[in-house]
Amino acid sequence: MTDLRTLLATARVQLASDEAALEAELLLAVALGQPRSWLYAHADAVPAADTAARFAELIARRTAGEPVAYLLGRRGFWTLDLQVGPECLIPRPETELLLEHALLRLPQDVPVRVADLGTGSGALALAVASERPLAEVWASDVSAAALECARANAQRLGLTRRVHFAEGDWCVALGAERYAMLVSNPPYLAEDDEHLQQGDLRFEPRMALVSGAEGLDALRVIIAAAPDHLEPRGWLLLEHGAGQGPPVRALLGARGFVEVHSLRDLQAHERVSLGRWMQPAS
């Protein structure tokens, strides 16, 4: 009979990656239905045959490249533990840059209305709601399956009273409503981007990744429509690809946004661009 210590050692060899030890432990914990910490106190335990088979299946899927987040069914974002699946983009640390600067522009003691366009798992919408208890947040997505995932996360986190969901394409889902802030992490990869054939991106929904020949189609649509949904002095914050800062700033400026600038991530890439809408509502 094979104990947990031996199963983990074998899995690490199969995975053969820098994160092999961590991933093996996370997947074994899922197969066992136990927290990862349980493994350290029970390394000599011998799992049931069906549990060992489940672990072997998870390792095989990970070896084939399937994202760990999908295998675990969850991913951490900000302070939240979110349910994720192949119907939505996996939340990434880079998007926390957008969230951090959104929160800097949202008061803690004043009711505000915020909309997250293309919410996916609900990461941005739910993080804003969790950090700003007076905020009412709307989350839109064209994918009904992604919205179901976001709703499930809102339910688990106890945020359903202040987070509202709307199915539709970008600002169209918002109707005639206006907000103090719009945030979005839209698709921004070009159709021929080589990264689409690498790593986790091979398994994530293409519609959440790709946006035209230059990767700018969704960004253009959002920037064009955003002023019709912003209150005077309202902010628009957008995540985009490295190298897209200049064209996104140009689009924001041409549409009439002011205080336009970009923010750099930890790798010094321009990753988020933002602007303020100062004109009165028509």
Q: Helix or strand or coil: residue 190?
A: coil
Contacts of 140 (CB under 8 A, 6+ apart): 115, 116, 117, 118, 119, 165, 166, 167, 168, 170, 171, 173, 174
Q: How far is CA 276 from CA 148, 231, 234, 271, in A?
A: 31, 10, 6, 17
Q: Round to whole Å and give the CA distance between 265 and 98.
A: 10
Contact 132, 161 (CB under 8 A): no
pTM for the whole thing? Answer: 0.91
CA distance 136 to 153: 16
Taking 70 as the pLDDT cut, the residues of the chain under it are 281-282
Q: DSSP E strands: which ranges in the chain?
A: 74-77, 80-83, 112-117, 135-141, 163-167, 179-184, 230-239, 258-264, 270-277
Cβ atoms of 67 and 73 within 8 Å: the answer is no
Q: Are 31 and 51 in contact (CB under 8 A)?
A: yes
pLDDT at 281 (0 to 100): 61
CA angle 35, 38, 42 (to 5 degrees): 150
Q: Are 70 and 89 in contact (CB under 8 A)?
A: no
The per-residue pLDDT for 282 is 57
Amino acid at site 106? L
